[in-house]
Amino acid sequence: MDKMDPAMKAFFLFVGLFMWVGIWLTGFAVVHWLLYLPATFFLISAVTGICPGMIFFQEIFRDKDSTRTKDNL
């Protein structure tokens, strides 16, 4: 079920923790609630290894002609 490279998991963990430290330093009552969403999603992605945002955008930008080869262009 784990679909993510360990380097990417470490990146998501670092960015998520960095965002939570920024929220804490700014003040939980001052920061807009929308900033909590990416900070939480980064940590969830790091722990589970599944990133819904990456899956969504990979489906959108996927090559539609992946079955085509050089010979049958």
**Cα torsion at 56, 58, 63, 69 (round to 10°)?**
-130
pTM: 0.73
As a whole number, the mean pLDDT across the chain is 87
DSSP label of 31: S
Residue with the two structure tokens 């900033």: 35
Q: Quick one: average pLDDT of 25-51?
A: 93
- Average pLDDT of the residues in 7-17: 95
User: Which is more confidently placed, 39 or 4?
Assistant: 39
> Which residues have CB under 8 Å from 50's CB, separation 6+?
1, 2, 3, 4
Q: What angle do CA 1, 4, 65 make, to 5 degrees?
A: 95
- pLDDT of amino acid 24: 97
Report the amino acid identity of residue 52.
Answer: P
